[in-house]
Amino acid sequence: MRNTELILKSAYWHTTNAGKRHVWSMIAPTPQQVAALPAELTEDSLVGLPGHWTIIDEHDGKVSIATDRTRSHPLCFTYQDGRWLITDDIETLRYQIPWESDREQNSVFECTGFTLGSSTLVANVSATQAAECLSLSPDGQVTRRPLFSYNYSEHPVSTPAELEKIFSDSLDTVLTRLLENSKGRQLVIPLSGGLDSRLLAAWLKKLEAPNVKTFTYGKPDSPETSISEQVARALGLEWFNVMLNPQRVRQAWRSHSADFLRATWKGTSLPHVQDWYALSVMRQKGLVDEDAIFLPGHTIVGNTHNEELIINHADFSQIQQALLAHHTFLQGRSSKVGKTSAWRDALQEAIEYVNYPKGARSIQELIEWFNLKERQAKYINNSMCSYEYFNYSWALPMLEPEVWNALLQGSETLTIDRKWYADFTSRIYAEQSGKEVNYFHAPATQMNARLKDVLSKIMRYSHADKVLNRYRSIQVMLDHPMAFEALTPSRKTGQLCKMLSGASTLGLWTKAFTSGNWGEGTLIPPRCNG
């Protein structure tokens, strides 16, 4: 009896080696790239493998699985009745195994929007992680190995010009390869009012990419919409907007969301619903080519978030508190996640990928890698499932190995925040567009500088600044430029009450998802009782 059952639903699997090797790749690899795949799944052979991929090898009764550093196509697996069940669609396990909740991960998920480590929301079901090689033995044992170490260079470049040259070369490499592999297919950029998508659009303009289209979506008065259009026009790129009417979004969500949620949660992640309505309109109206490749500007730049921790050589307790504050805030301030074994284990796993505690630079590595392997891999990068659901392709060129390696050569001064990156992006955009940079910023209040300083001190002393910031935050959440309030099950009064107690929009979504009250009300993860 075979001790492994593979249940692979994606259309992007390529089987080689007499059916013993299965390679997932969104954009079909060339024969040369297939031939270059390593004979064995070792860290050395995989660390620089380009593109986005997942590889499964069956050999000698064992199964080896390798996942790229972006966790492009996660797998779920479980050991039941002496055999492994391995799938890229956790929904296939619903009627094959006991469908029970992992209570601890459920509690974590409501505060984060993702599970921690290799666990899923389903008890006794595991998931592959970013940058991981693992082996599944016939006796049910799992062996995990890191794919690479997340380390900054021991001899970093310290001048902006040096890093600019290295970074520019990496962008040339990955985007030229993308243009070759895409073979003229339409490239579509979700163009926001920020840095990342703008740099991507400008660089494709620089390379004279022949078939590029840009878009944004939002309410009619969204400031980012006008900025997105200005950027596209300045670069000479085709642009369109999907207008969001909250009533229409709400109606569509209530009647057509269940299949999308089932297809995109992957056992570990809050489905990334922000793009759902816009993509459904694009598909219905044929606004982009049927075989279009979407290019979000996701990058590892700016994942430090807490620069002062590095500057002040923070101790482990301070690092942990900062990570908790950044990742577990969806229900308001809470310390319960930090007390779980799931949190402790995930943090320890992150430590194994970096040099911590060897100096201030290792603090930066730990903070960034934890963010990359947990939140970015499981929530941000998992948003690519939205494109797959609507039968589009995608690529993340600024998360290719060459770009990672380039940025990891930068000094602490150049990488601790986004300043160098912002200056670089602004210059490239100006060169390609002939226009000055315009980014989305909230309008400044006109006030006498001395009076403003006095009022600021009074507000800080009385904690009124926190109250005001919370008030402004709630205002935005209840009337979001992207109509997020339309995707929340309760009315605005109900949303307001929960937000006043500390919950964010994402926190309302995680609660609705785990309780089966999101969209059509279908319970997707198993209900957690007690």
Which tops the pLDDT comparison, 465 or 250? 250
Same domain, 286 and 370: no
pTM: predicted TM-score of the whole model, two decimal places: 0.92
Distances (CA, A) of 351 to 127, 234, 249, 265, 417: 19, 44, 42, 27, 21
- pLDDT value at residue 491: 82
Does residue 438 lie in a domain region?
no
Contact 217, 479 (CB under 8 A): no
| pLDDT at residue 477, rounded to an integer | 80
**Residue 87 confidence (pLDDT) above 90:** yes
Task: Name the pLDDT band for 227 (thresholds 50, 70, 90).
Answer: very high
> Which residue segment(s) compose the domain that 510 sits in?
449-515
Asked if pLDDT for residue 466 goes beyond 90, the answer is no
Same-domain check for residues 174 and 54:
no
Q: In whole angstroms, how far apart are CA 256 and each of 36, 273, 340, 512?
A: 43, 12, 36, 16
**Which are the contacts of 359, defined by CB distance < 8 A and separation ≥ 6?**
none
Quick one: pLDDT at residue 440? 44
The DSSP secondary-structure symbol of 60 reads T
Contacts of 381 (CB under 8 A, 6+ apart): 70, 71, 72, 298, 396, 399
Cis amide prior to 357 (ω within 30 degrees): yes
Task: Please indicate, yes or no, if residue 442 is contained in any of the structural domains.
Answer: no
* Section 222-238 average pLDDT: 94
Mean pLDDT of the 260-280 span: 97
What was the pLDDT predicted at 19? 83
pLDDT level of residue 450 (50, 70, 90 thresholds): low
Residues 282 and 410 placed together within one structural domain of the fold: yes
What pLDDT shows up at residue 190?
Answer: 97
Residues 273 and 420 in one domain: yes
329 lies in the same domain as 349: yes
Whether 493 maps to a domain, the answer reads yes
Q: Which amino acid is at 85?
A: L
Is residue 396 within 8 Å of residue 346, measured between CB atoms? no
447 pLDDT tier (thresholds 50, 70, 90): very low
Query: Which range among 61-65, 189-193, 327-331, 464-468 shows the weakest confidence by mean pLDDT?
Result: 464-468
Of 16-30, 115-129, 386-400, the range with the lowest mean pLDDT is 16-30
User: What is the pLDDT averaged over residues 21-42?
Assistant: 80
**Statement to judge: residues 320 and 279 lie in one domain:** no
477 and 390 within one domain: no
State the maximum Cα–Cα separation within the chain, in Å, rounded to a whole number: 80
Tell whether 428 and 456 lie within a shared domain: no
CATH number at residue 18: 3.60.20.10
Res 438: pLDDT = 58
196 and 316 assigned to the same domain: no
Residue 472 pLDDT class (50, 70, 90 cuts): confident
Residue 522 domain flag? no
Give yes or no: residues 173 and 283 share one domain.
yes
Establish if 408 belongs to a structural domain: yes
- For residue 445, name the pLDDT band (cuts at 50, 70, 90): very low
Residue 155 lies in a domain: no
**Residue that is last in its domain, among 146, 170, 194:** 146
486 and 465 housed in the same domain: yes
The answer to whether residues 26 and 393 touch, using CB atoms and an 8 Å cutoff, is: yes
* Number of domains forming the structure of the chain: 4
- What is the pLDDT at residue 441? 44
Q: Pull the structure tokens for residue 239.
A: 């642009």
Residues 326 and 475 in one domain: no
Q: How far apart are CA 264 and CA 247, in angstroms?
A: 24
In a domain, 48, yes or no: yes
Residues 6+ apart with CB under 8 A from 75: 54, 56, 65, 67, 86, 87, 88, 127, 128
For residue 145, the Cα-to-chain-centroid distance in whole angstroms is 22
Cβ pair 121, 106 in contact under 8 A: yes
CATH number at residue 185: 3.40.50.620
440 domain residue, yes or no: no
List, for residues 100-148, the tens digit of each pLDDT value: 999 999 999 999 999 999 999 999 999 999 999 999 999 999 999 999 9
